[in-house]
């Protein structure tokens, strides 16, 4: 019975290309909205893959969490009910703390530093380790460097104490905010605009691109450009579905994602700078802060996470060029 249902499902997604080969539709999910660079990149990759495989691999893009939260999408990827995704580190780092090491505060200074680490040995090991989750890691991308948006004016890190700051529910990020005396409030990205507008959260850790495109600035008094964390994205495929794609088409899919992810990451320095300029045209105060602004909580974070996530030390060595 189960086998029949599976077969019916497969037939409903399969068609034939002009050349007579089987053309299959695949589903790719993301939590980012349509204008976000992740979604734009996914669409560009899908178009190119369709063209280069003569329509055999046709990836349909579902942005804004249409296929569910990342937790729900992970389950679908594992069962083969969906096929591709761009994911934050949340679901990985909650299963293996080593995936949270990229969130080490100020592990890199800027996008160029992030780009280097995402091509490094530690990043590759983590990508390979995704097989343990029933996934194929296709490569790393990123969103812009993390910064802070608050509804009340903020000048010093003390002003963040007790504030409800929206985060992603990953332990290293929660620990960072707890260390600063704030109240990290995990919340999915699609729920954030309303939560900020109605005061359910007092601020957020986010990227400049999202701050502009999703108009979070409309309810903000302070925009703090801290660049305090890089924010990797994992491009992944369902291990089950991947096994059913021909070797030739898998090579095309891998090559296209690799090239698109590289240009996504490389582009972020400019994307961050452009959106920052846009934010400076608003009424909101835009302020730059550096590592010292955050005080001793940062070192305390490192002491704890070197214990919790042994690969952090490897990443620190890579970041410092040792
Ligand atoms: C966020 O949840 O903050 C986020 C997720 C994906 C891209 C950018 C930001």
Residues 242-276 pLDDT 10s: 999 999 999 999 999 999 999 999 999 999 999 99
Q: Show the 3-state SS of the chain.
A: CHHHHHHHHHHHHEEECCCCCEEEEEEEECCCCCCCHHHHHHHHHHHHHHHHCCCCEEEEEECCCCCCCHHHHHHHHHHCCCCEEEECCHHHHCCCHHHHHHHCCCCCCCHHHHHHHHCCHHHHHHHHHHHHHCEEEEEEEEECCCEEEECCCCCCHHHHCCCEEEECCCHHHHHHHHHCCCEEEECCHHHHHHHHHCCCCCEEEECHHHHHHCCHHHHCCEEEECCCCCEEEEEEEEHHHHHCCCHHHHHHHHHHHHHHHHHHHHHHHHHHHHHHHHHCCCCCEEEECCHHHHCCHHHHHHHHHHHHCCHHHHHHHHHCCC
Rounded mean pLDDT of 197-221?
A: 96
% of residues, the chain, pLDDT over 90: 89
Q: How far is the CA of 145 from the centre of ligand 1 (A)?
A: 11
The finding on whether 284 has its CB within 6 A of some atom of ligand 1 is no
Q: pLDDT tens digits, residue range 94-147?
A: 899 999 999 999 999 999 999 999 999 999 999 999 999 999 999 999 999 999
14 confidence band (pLDDT: 50, 70, 90): low
Q: Is the CB of 77 under 6 A from ligand 1?
A: no
Global pTM value: 0.90
Is 165 touching ligand 1 by the criterion CB < 6 Å?
no
Say yes or no: CB of residue 210 within 6 Å of ligand 1: yes
What separation in Å is there between the alpha carbon of 196 and the centre of ligand 1?
15
Domains of the chain, earliest start first: 21-143+232-273 (3.40.190.170), 147-229+278-320 (3.40.190.170)
Q: What pLDDT does 38 receive?
A: 97
> Mean pLDDT, the chain, as a whole number?
93
80 lines ligand 1 (CB under 6 A): no
């Amino acid at each position: 019975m189960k086998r029949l249902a599976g077969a019916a499902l497969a037939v409903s997604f399969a068609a034939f290309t002009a050349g007579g080969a089987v053309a299959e539709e695949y589903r790719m999910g993301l939590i980012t909205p349509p204008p976000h660079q992740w979604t734009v990149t996914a669409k560009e990759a899908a178009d190119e893959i369709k063209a280069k495989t003569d329509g055999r691999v046709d990836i349909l893009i579902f942005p804004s969490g249409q296929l569910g939260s990342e937790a729900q999408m992970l389950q679908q990827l594992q069962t083969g009910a969906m096929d591709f995704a761009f994911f934050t580190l949340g679901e990985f780092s909650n299963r293996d703390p080593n995936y949270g090491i990229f969130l080490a505060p100020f592990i890199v200074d800027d996008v160029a530093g992030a780009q280097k680490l995402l091509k490094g040995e530690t990043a590759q090991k983590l990508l390979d380790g995704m097989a343990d989750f029933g996934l194929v890691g296709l490569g790393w991308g990123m969103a812009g460097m993390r910064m802070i948006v608050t509804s009340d004016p903020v000048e010093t890190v003390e002003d963040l104490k007790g504030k409800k700051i929206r985060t992603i529910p990953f332990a290293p990020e929660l620990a960072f905010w707890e260390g600063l005396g704030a109240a990290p409030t995990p919340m999915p990205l699609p729920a954030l605009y309303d939560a900020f507008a109605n005061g359910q959260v007092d601020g957020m850790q986010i990227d400049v691109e999202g701050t502009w495109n999703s108009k979070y600035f409309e309810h903000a008094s302070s925009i703090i450009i801290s660049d305090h964390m890089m924010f990797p994205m994992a491009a992944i495929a369902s291990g089950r579905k991947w096994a059913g794609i021909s070797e030739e088409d898998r090579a095309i899919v891998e090559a296209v994602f690799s090239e698109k992810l590289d240009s996504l990451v490389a582009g972020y320095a400019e994307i961050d700078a452009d959106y920052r300029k846009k934010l400076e045209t608003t009424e909101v105060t835009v302020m730059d802060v550096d590592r010292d602004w955050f005080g001793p909580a940062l070192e305390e974070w490192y002491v704890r996470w070197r214990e919790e996530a042994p690969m952090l030390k490897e990443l620190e060595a890579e970041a410092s060029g040792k």
